[in-house]
Amino acid sequence: MSISKEQIEQVAYLARIQISDAEKSALESKLSSILDMVDELQAADTDGITPMAHPLDATQRLRPDEVTEPNEREKFQKLAPEAENGLYLVPRVVE
């Protein structure tokens, strides 16, 4: 699969980047070779192969889900410019 200069210009426009004609030529060849490699990978037979998240059969050690910090909400609410009913009051920014 190859990519055209028009497609590169369209992507550059969408990304709001400016590229020169020399860069377009270089990108055309580089992106075409990347897409050719992806096509090769797509041709590989993967039937019967289970997807995996990690190549090693390892499990992650997890710590117990316990509260370790004291609840200091009241203390922090006193520092806030405005707070009411446990909520921080902020200026409206959306009309």
CA of 49: how far to CAs of 37, 38, 44, 52, in Å? 21, 19, 11, 9
Instruction: Determine if the pTM surpasses 0.75.
Output: no
Confidence class for position 59, pLDDT limits 50, 70, 90: confident
* Mean pLDDT, the chain, whole residue set: 90
Residue spans of the domains in the chain: they are 5-42
For residues 40 and 52, the model is more confident at: 40
Give me the pLDDT at residue 2, please: 81
Place of tokens 């004291």: 70
